[in-house]
């Protein structure tokens, strides 16, 4: 699954940045799973450096090929770090949504003819690596649109 490939191919620094962006009161997004894996009490996990927790969290996601967890991690990061990225993409593609949330995925699909122009604009407004991360999520959401996957593949090559 491409979201697993995305996590696998990230640099340690990139994964750490995503993990740190999702921390809340000193806890990382997967610290519960990290604590279990390391046999730590949940509160004690904060004593471990965030880079070590992130490294273990990444290992957990990859060892279980947990696409759902990877998807939630990446989607959560994008929503927290670039809350307008998703709505900007959907608006430009003409997809109805409520603050980036699409009600009926089966009824609305992106227009592949608009994709290059929309991505060029998003690349001006947001970090390119985050636009590419969102494109990965889009390719998973709309597998019937091969241009999403092929464009993502070109961007990560």
CB neighbour list of residue 54: distance below 8 Å, 6 or more residues apart: 12, 15, 16, 19, 20, 28
Average pLDDT over residues 104-119: 90
What confidence tens digit (pLDDT) does each residue in 35-83 have? 999 999 988 999 999 999 999 999 999 999 999 999 999 999 999 999 9
Across the strands, what pairs with 27?
24
Q: What DSSP designation does 24 have? A: B
- Cα–Cα distance list, 72 to 69, 114, 116, 124, 135 (Å): 5, 26, 26, 25, 14
Q: What is the pLDDT of residue 50?
A: 96
- Dihedral sign for Cα 16, 18, 19, 20, please: positive
Q: What is the pLDDT of residue 42?
A: 87
> What is the rounded CA–CA span in Å between residue 93 and residue 30?
33
What confidence tens digit (pLDDT) does each residue in 127-143 have? 999 999 999 999 999 99
**Comparing C-alpha atoms, which of 79, 72, 87, 82 is closest to residue 118?**
87
Answer yes or no: are the C-beta atoms of 122 and 85 closer than 8 Å: yes
User: Could you give the 3-state DSSP secondary structure of residue 45?
Assistant: helix
Q: What is the pLDDT of residue 53?
A: 97
Q: What is the pLDDT of residue 52?
A: 96
Q: What is the pLDDT of residue 104?
A: 80
């Amino acid at each position: 699954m491409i979201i697993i490939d995305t996590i696998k191919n990230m640099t340690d620094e990139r994964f750490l940045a995503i993990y740190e962006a999702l921390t809340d009161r000193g806890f990382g997004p997967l610290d519960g799973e990290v604590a279990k894996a390391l046999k730590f009490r949940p509160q004690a996990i904060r004593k471990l450096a965030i880079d070590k927790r992130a490294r273990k969290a990444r290992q957990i996601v990859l060892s279980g090929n947990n696409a759902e967890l990877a998807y939630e991690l990446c989607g959560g990061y994008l929503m927290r770090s670039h809350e307008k990225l998703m709505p900007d993409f959907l608006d430009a593609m003409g997809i109805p949504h409520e603050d980036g949330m699409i009600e009926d995925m089966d009824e609305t699909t992106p227009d592949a003819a608009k994709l290059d122009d929309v991505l060029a604009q998003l690349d001006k407004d947001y970090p390119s690596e985050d636009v590419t991360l969102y494109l990965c999520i889009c390719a998973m959401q709309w597998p019937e649109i091969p241009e999403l996957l092929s464009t993502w593949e070109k961007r990560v090559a």
